[in-house]
Amino acid sequence: MNMDSDLQIAGDILEVPHLLQPERAHPETVADFAGLARSIADDRAQWAPYVEYDATTRWYHRLRTGPGYEVWLLSWVPGQGSGLHDHGVSSGVLTVLEGELTERTEQGARALTPGSQRVFAPGYVHEVLNDSLEPAVSLHVYFPGLTEMPMHESLQAQCSPEPSGAAVV
């Protein structure tokens, strides 16, 4: 025990229950939602039996709902993507379970590998796609539950300068 410290705990801290936070039945904070996604990702039995692949469209399955949130499982075959979109008023956590996905934003592209998590706020514009040669699976937690997914113009159109008529010398 370090005797140089002015702060010392006497006795068992667990014997002071009024100092402990009560366990919550459902997530309430961004950290809670990221933790929920991580705990589901770590328990393959919770999601693996539901994975399916569809060559014509991204496949999805709602795994769980709670007060004010939803948990979705998505699968992506090579070449499938979401298109550029946001999630309306919903915040979210995206966690890659298997394979590799690419997230594109106006800041550039980012490879997302198993265990990668992205947390985003309402209005965050991105595109997620599987540009690898193997299928991928991801988990998405939305809070509040997803009610809209507005689509946006392509990133190239957003980043292209308007023709000004001025010559570049």
| Residue positions forming the annotated binding site for Fe cation | 85, 87, 126
- In single-letter form, the type of residue at position 2 comes to N
DSSP state of 60: E
Closest to 41 in 3D by CA, of 24, 64, 25, 68 = 64
What are the residues facing 105 on neighbouring strands?
A: 108
Q: How many CB atoms lie within 10 A of CB 138?
A: 26
Nearest-angstrom CA–CA distance, 163 and 18: 65
DSSP state of 155: H
CB 93 within 8 Å of CB 121 = no
Cα–Cα distance list, 71 to 100, 133, 168 (Å):
20, 26, 50
Q: Which residues are annotated as a binding site?
A: 85, 87, 126
